[in-house]
Amino acid sequence: MMHGNSTLARLRTSVTSAAFSSALLAMTSLVYAQPVHSGGDHVEAGPGGFADLAEKAGPAVIGVSATVAAADDDDSPGHSLGPDGSDQDMPGQVVPGPDRRGGGNMPKPTETSIGSGFFISADGYAVTNNHLLAGSDTADVRTNDNKVYKAKVLGKDSVSDLALLKVDGRTDFSYVKLADQSPRAGDWVLAAGNSFGLGNTFNAGIVSARARDLETGPSEDFVQIDARINRGDSGGPSFNVQGEVIGVNSMIVSPSGGSVGVAFAVPADTVKTVVPQLKEKGAVTRGWMGAQVQSVTPDVAESLGANNRRGAVVVGVQSGGPAAKAGLKRGDVITSVNDEPIKSANELTKKVYAAAPGSSVKLAMVRDNAPNSLNVTVGKLAQSQAPVGLPK
């Protein structure tokens, strides 16, 4: 978990008139990215510019807005606390609705969530972030020629923070392709989105890390991007130099609520796995074990009286769940799943999610400093059981 002043921020922007003015003022203080130079003799040259790529990919990038239930007031726009108490925020935007302030028998307050997305087919299928849509079944989509379309929300997945939209009535939308090859650290990237609700905006940077495990709730590994990704950019694509989508922008590191140039995107490989299920059945099927786990850190290993141990320690077992029925106990240290070693709680969670409901998984573990093992019949993860470490 990340605590302290460095906070993970979702990119859904909050815009009242005052906040919007603040956002515009903040934009005037942004510093343009400078070229990256290297003294190495064998470094592949970067692009001479991104104008051609922006022109080619721009028409597929959309602004997304939806009416959602209002969040509780807090100290900064679009700001919320994660269930673990950590301070988190989003690169999207929230505009208070007309019944934001009321009392008595007034309707439940609403607000307009503003973010980004992109078309993945000519007939109007589009990807965005789940946290932008909250409980909404529809969204408004604005294309780069300033036309607005009504979109259906076909499916949402809180674990990956992905959602699938469908705009009917046209079969000639510009669209982009998901990358087949994972990016490498150091690759150029062009992030696109609806910054501050202003319309299509592009920011260049690099992939600074792959498979970043944030341990904030979801088990997904993120692509870390060093680029000025701002509020309003949630759900927007990050492109490689070939114009393929390598990730869906989801979070930023935000000590003060603004962008400091460090962002996280859901990898294209995850999008390829999740979107077909959202299209087919509106949700993603995952395995469920009914246990809370955390990674074995040096401090945890010391408290358990173990040295150089890796894996996931069980910190809680849900009564009546698959793990409890199999005999898993608090304090057990799980070291492998189906004879495949795991290094962290994140790896364990991903393997359980990937297991088919009703299947059996073998857990090797250490209990009371002695090797042990058991088989768990995996259940089906319900939406209410899905982690929500990344807030709406």
**From the candidates 158, 160, 208, 234, which is the catalytic residue?**
234
Burial code of 268-299, b = ≥16 C-beta within 10 A, e = fewer?
Answer: bbbbeebbebbeeeebbebbbbbbebbbbeee
Backbone phi, then psi, for 5, in 5-degree steps? -80, -25
**3-class state of residue 23 by DSSP:** helix
Residue 155 in contact with residue 283, Cβ under 8 Å? Answer: yes
The question of whether 74 is a catalytic residue gets the answer: no
Residue 328 in contact with residue 374, Cβ under 8 Å? Answer: yes
Chain center to CA of 43: 31
Sequence-distant (≥ 6) Cβ neighbours of residue 105 within 8 angstroms? none
Cα distance between residue 58 and residue 40, in whole Å:
33
The question of whether 161 is a catalytic residue gets the answer: yes
DSSP one-letter code for 224? E
> CA dist 286 to 54, 310, 372, 385, Å?
36, 25, 26, 11
Kind and range of the H or E element at 140? strand 138-142
Cα distance between residue 234 and residue 65, in whole Å:
11
Instruction: Count other C-beta atoms under 10 Å from residue 24's C-beta.
Output: 11
* Pairing outcome for strands 79-81 and 125-128: unpaired
**From the candidates 87, 89, 157, 161, which is the catalytic residue?**
161
**From the candidates 65, 131, 195, 226, which is the catalytic residue?**
131
The question of whether 234 is a catalytic residue gets the answer: yes
Residue 165 in contact with residue 172, Cβ under 8 Å? Answer: no
Q: What share of the chain is helix, strand, coil (3-state, %, to 5)?
A: 15, 35, 45
- Closest listed residue to residue 262, CA positions, set 305, 213, 206: 206
Instruction: Count other C-beta atoms under 10 Å from residue 152's C-beta.
Output: 14
- Enumerate the active-site residues: 131, 161, 234
